[in-house]
Amino acid sequence: MKLSRFAAALFAAGMIVASQAQAQAPDLNAIPDKMPFNITYGPTISVERAQAVIAAGLAEAKKRGWEMNIAVVDQHGDLKAFARMDDAQLASIPIAQHKARTAARYRRETRLFEDLVMKGVAYIPTLDDVIASRGGIPLVDDGKLIGAVGCSGGTGSQDEAICKVAAALINK
């Protein structure tokens, strides 16, 4: 008897969460007047600027005591610079690169994909080479996309915090 009450409560809680996710999901049939995330592609970020972005992220991570992997890619999503702090999680090496690549190729922060997945938008996992985890930010100089930065090694919010500091070097 106790198990069936528990199962019923669990089912009810699941239905509430599912209905909330459905209610918060964007209207996929809406047709925007302008193309969203239509950032013009610019010249490739230089290795010097890519290394400066990495240095800004490393300085913030050291200040906070967080071991991070930080990747900078060009506007195509190809690796330009990378740093792995001592004791940074090894599994986060490709994740940092993937976050940067997704931010560059889709011209938006990876947090937006995470938010959509959390709202139950089912098509997001079907997109090629997307990572739906915060910590990837496009680098936009003078209105043009020149690359992206991706951070991984901590929680999503820690990755995003380091990434924002690193990206602020370019994104004014």
Q: Which domain holds residue 117?
A: 39-167
Q: In terms of pLDDT, which residue wins out, 18 or 142?
A: 142
114: Cα within 13 Å, side-chain hemisphere: 14
Does the pLDDT of residue 117 top 80, yes or no?
yes
For residue 4, being part of any structural domain is answered with no
For residue 172, being part of any structural domain is answered with no
For residue 11, being part of any structural domain is answered with no
Confidence band of 6 (pLDDT split at 50, 70, 90): very low
For residue 116, being part of any structural domain is answered with yes
For residue 114, being part of any structural domain is answered with yes
**pLDDT tens column, 48-79:** 999 999 999 999 999 999 999 999 999 999 99
pTM of the model: 0.84
Does the pLDDT of residue 141 top 70, yes or no?
yes
For residue 47, being part of any structural domain is answered with yes
Answer whether 47's CB lies under 8 Å from 80's CB: yes
Q: Nearest 5°: CA angle at 143, between 140 and 146?
A: 35
Distance CA 51, CA 48 (A): 5
For residue 33, being part of any structural domain is answered with no
Does the pLDDT of residue 10 top 70, yes or no?
no
For residue 25, being part of any structural domain is answered with no
User: Domain containing 159 — which CATH number?
Assistant: 3.30.450.150
- Count: domains in the chain: 1
